[in-house]
Amino acid sequence: MKNLNTLNMYETQVVDLHPLQHLYRLERISAYDACIIDISPLSKFTQLDSLYFRNNKITNKDTLQHHNNFSEYRLHDQEVPTTDELKFYNKILSIHSSHKQIRKIQAENRASKFRESMTLYREYVNLQLNEQIRALNMKIEIWAQFIQNSNADQ
């Protein structure tokens, strides 16, 4: 996904905005009753036109206040998460990144097993082909002997 016009987040417990950095374009964001850890990745978007947040818990919200391109910029009733909430949310985010690492390793293992099975399959096919070639060579030898014997009989 390269472009995303609008991102709406409603009643979301933990929002990690760092994956949005892979987008080329993001124009509008709305968030209601969400907990957003580190809003700073949004400062990358020059096309970000509208930002509307209400009743959220946000860290690093000051990073966006210097963004000049907003035609609409509203941060209503924002709170900073408590230390305990931040610890909890950071723990969830670290678990999420651990799961991402595990999935990456599993994908690498599947790819490795696939390559290994393809190698075994190629070896099997080569053995089958070699057997068929030997069988054909034997038939050719039998036919050659038959032809020699029939020529010798004449």
Q: How many domains does the chain have?
A: 1
The pLDDT assigned to 80 comes to 64
Higher pLDDT among residues 67 and 86, named by residue: 86
**Within a domain: 126:** no
Compute the mean pLDDT over every residue in the chain, rounded to the nearest whole number: 77
The pLDDT assigned to 70 comes to 54
**Within a domain: 71:** yes
- pTM confidence score: 0.39
**Within a domain: 111:** no
The pLDDT assigned to 1 comes to 55
Q: Quick one: average pLDDT of 14-18?
A: 72
Q: Quick one: average pLDDT of 37-42?
A: 72
The residue count of the chain comes to 154
Q: What's the rounded Cα separation, in Å, for the pair 100 and 106?
A: 10
**Within a domain: 16:** yes
**Within a domain: 35:** yes
The answer for residues whose C-beta is within 8 angstroms of residue 8's C-beta and 6 or more apart is: 29, 30, 31
The pLDDT assigned to 142 comes to 93
Q: What's the rounded Cα separation, in Å, for the pair 36 and 15?
A: 5
**Within a domain: 36:** yes
**Within a domain: 117:** no
DSSP per-residue string spanning 19-32 = GGGG-SEEEEEEEE
| pLDDT class of 135 with cuts at 50, 70, 90 | very high
CATH number assigned to the domain comprising residue 74: 3.80.10.10
Q: Which domain holds residue 59?
A: 3-81
**Within a domain: 128:** no
| pLDDT class of 35 with cuts at 50, 70, 90 | confident
Closest CA to 78 of 44, 20, 39: 39
The pLDDT assigned to 34 comes to 73
Q: What's the rounded Cα separation, in Å, for the pair 32 and 117?
A: 50
3 is written with which tokens?
A: 């472009």
